[in-house]
Structure formats: C-alpha cells, structure tokens
Chain A
C-alpha cells in the first residue's frame, strides 16, 4: 500500500533527517515506528502526507508517486489519511462536536451528513456524552480522542499517529492504544510513531526501529528496543 523507495531527506546545512529508507507497508497493517527523539519518525510520517518531500527516492501510495500529485489534488490525498499528534491541535473555540464536524465541513459535506456521521464517530471514540464540551473542559486523553475522531471523519484508509500518547498518563495512553487497535481492526492501516515501550510490546505487531534517519530493524511482532 505504501512504499518508501530509497528515501532520503537532507535539510540545508547537510542535516540528514532520513537516509536511504526502504519500507513496504501492507494494507491493514499496524506498524509501530520507534526511535529516539529526532531519529526521523515524524519526518517519515510527514512524507506520507506530503508535508515534506524526499530529497532522494520516492514515496508511493498504491503505486502512485505522491510527489507527482498536483497541489490541487493534494487535499484529496490528505482526506484519505487521518493524522493525530502529541500536541493534539484542536480548535479551542469549538466544541468537541464542532472540532470533528470541522473536518467534514472543509470537505464540503452537507449539514445533515455531518450531524449524523459526527455523532457516530464520537460514539465510536467514547465521547458521545461530551459532544458539547470545549477542549478546555476535557482531559488530555479525551482531547486526544476528539483528535482521533476528527482524523476519522473522512473515513481514512490510512491512520498516522505521531506520539499520540506522549502527554498522557498510562491509563489514558492505554485507552488511546486500544482505540488505535480498534481502528486497525476495522480495516484501516495504522502507523504509530511512539516512545511507549510497554504498550508497543503488549500489542505484538510489526515494529520498525529508526536511528539517525535509518531503518535499523524491522520485525513482525517485534518489540521496542533501542
């Protein structure tokens, strides 16, 4: 489904973020990307959404070189990909419901469809009760679940999570992990960049280790090791 073919990313002043990364990700997989801070995990994820472009090599989704997608068509690619971050990025002036609805608004969905779908998604992430709460009234875990709900609004085929549990305590992190697993079980490919060793080890899925911009280990049912 996704293929990194000899991808390197070199920033000015010769700072190497990724070096000759080759990676094949199959439809429906759950992959944990692990590595120290600054190892290149986020850069790798940002290449999939084409927020970054490779200096060398190519990133392919369904055999399409995404660097060839015109900026006009880029939003359509991004609507196929759900993304969540450690710093959550909710609009503080909008309620949980409105934050999720926002994703559908930009895609031009009509009001009735938004009302129906957002309620369903909030129910899926266990926040049906909190639909009218503002981000400031939600706990860290709840905020992250709103962000996940928002990322699910377009029914993405690929879900990217960049340290989604970084600011959460263990029980909340556990809940987010379960939610990601649930999303994966529903057929969505999940790529998770994380530091949460216990959780990675617990779910027993494919683990890719990145060090200094290079893939140093790639194991099915792997463990978190640095």
Chain B
C-alpha cells in the first residue's frame, strides 16, 4: 500500500470518528470503563503481589526445644538443618535472648518482669528456639515434618507455624483477582458490542459513499481500513482518558495504600508500573478490543 493511500485511510477513519461525535463519545466512554477496570486489576495485582511478598518475608516457623535439650545438641541440629537447600535462614534463639525479648515486649508490666527475674540463668523457663525461614511456602511442610520425625522429635517441645496467615491472604487476593478477571471479561464483551454497533451505524450512514467507493474501484483495504482505524481511535482516546483519570488516583492513593499494607514507600513508588508502561498496556488492550470488534463488523456488514 502506498503511503498516500495509507494516509487517506487514516484520514477517512478519523473523519468517521469525528462525524458521529455522540456515538463515538459513547463508544469511547465504554472503552474507558473497560480499560479502567483492566488497569485497576493490573495495579491491584502488583499491590497484592508486593504485600504478599512482604508478608511471606515476615512469616517463619518457630521450633521450641525442651528445657532438657543441651545447647550442644541444639547446635548440632542447627548444622544439620542448615544443610537443607529449602532452608533460607535459621536463627538460634538461646533461652537468655528469649527472656530478654520477653522482658522487652512486656517492659510496661512490672509484675511480669519481676516474676521472670526471680529465676536465675540456670532456671530460665524460656526454651531455646529456632526461627526458620524457607525459600518457598511449600517448604515449611518439609521442615515441620523433619522436626516431627523420630530423630528430632524427642528434643522438640512445640512448633508454631504462621502459614495459615499466608494461606488466608492468598485466598483473599485470589478471590479479588478472580472477581477482577470476571469483570474484565464482562466489560470487554460490552465494549466490543458497543463498538460493534457504533461502527455498524457508521457503515450504515456511509453506505452510499461505500457504494461509490466500490464503483470507482477502491481496494478492499481502502474501503475497510477506515472502519478499523475508527475502532483504533476509540482505543487511543479511551486509553488516554483512562490514563488521565487513573494516574492522579494512583498518585493520591499511594501513600495511603503503602501505609495500610505496611509496604516500604520506595517499593510502592516504583511498583513496576510507571505512567508510560501503564499507558502502553491500556493502548494495547484497547486496540485488541477495537480491532476484534471492527473486524467482525466489517466482515459481517461490508460486502465488497
């Protein structure tokens, strides 16, 4: 296709968009709603991933040892556990440290502090413990079963496991993602339908001109092109409007969200989603929707 033909197709597509301003506005508005939902879903996905990662980072499994277990035994166990590839870190908390931690935690309760201080070091009632972190959430089961096995079990008093917090968080975020996906699908479908009708009306309004085009030997792409261009204009206008609405919102909400999710501010700021990436994603998803609907209309209603 020659550059001049291409520019004429673009021009005609823009004319289609401009001439039916009200209809185009409706189609663009629908596009904005859908792109808004898609982008919000994206932002939500990034946020939940970040907060999940931050929570996962804080989760560990604590192994408390019997008071009778000697430090030497515990250190031996530590060396064995350290060799397991799934283990990210293992921290040994001796009874003394555990007592200090307890005192620090309850420093405003003199009665408790006093009762703890009654014991000397050899009578310290706080057990020694490990705080173990693993690489993957699934690895916790391996570690726990190891300490429940006959080799270590005699030394272990108690195992506390915070995995259920992560499980719950996972379930909630998955639920939100599914609802978001469902909404995206529904609104994408509505957008395709609205654009379908808008372009169909344009074809109807321009039927005489299309007939003339056919008569004077316009090529298929010359006749069909402008309607696909028209659809792409809905996508572009929709993407720009969505970005203009969404970005200030992200900007305003960021400090609040980062406070709520207890995420470090710098992580939130980058989010992996800068303005241009977001705009590009909106344009791409908008253009995909636009091209799908205009291709269907053109195939169905434009006979060459």
A: which residues have CB within 8 A of B?
Answer: 49, 51, 71-72, 74-80, 83, 89, 91, 102-103, 105-108, 110-111, 150-151, 153-154
Contacts and interface: CB of A to CB of B under 8 A. Distances in A.
Given A75-B218, A75-B219, A78-B217, A110 B212 contact: no
Interface stretch (B1-9, B50-58, B77-85, B164-172): B1-9
B273 to A, nearest CB: 43
Contact of B304 (A74, A76, A83, A102): A74
B214 interface: yes
B222 to A, nearest CB: 5
Secondary structure at chain B's binding surface: helix, strand, loop or mixed?
A: helix
Contacts of B215: 49, 78, 83, 89, 151
Contact of B4 (A51, A78, A110): A110
A105 to B, nearest CB: 6
25 contacts: A49-B215, A71-B220, A72-B219, A72-B220, A74-B304, A75-B217, A75-B218, A75-B219, A75-B222, A76-B217, A78-B217, A79-B216, A83-B215, A89-B211, A89-B212, A89-B215, A91-B209, A102-B212, A105-B8, A106-B217, A107-B216, A107-B218, A110-B4, A150-B216, A154-B217
A107 B304 CA distance: 15
A67 B113 CA distance: 100
Contacts of B213: 106
Contacts of A77: 217
A154 B213 CA distance: 13
A154 B2 CA distance: 18
For the complex of A and B, list the 9 residue pairs with the smallest distance between their C-beta atoms, beginning with the closest.
Answer: A79-B217, A106-B218, A78-B217, A103-B216, A108-B5, A75-B217, A75-B219, A108-B2, A83-B215
Contact of B216 (A71, A72, A78, A110): A78
Interface in B129-143: none
A103 B211 CA distance: 12
Nearest to A150: B216
B208 interface: yes
Contacts of B8: 105-106
A79 B161 CA distance: 80
Contacts of A151: 215-216
B63 to A, nearest CB: 74
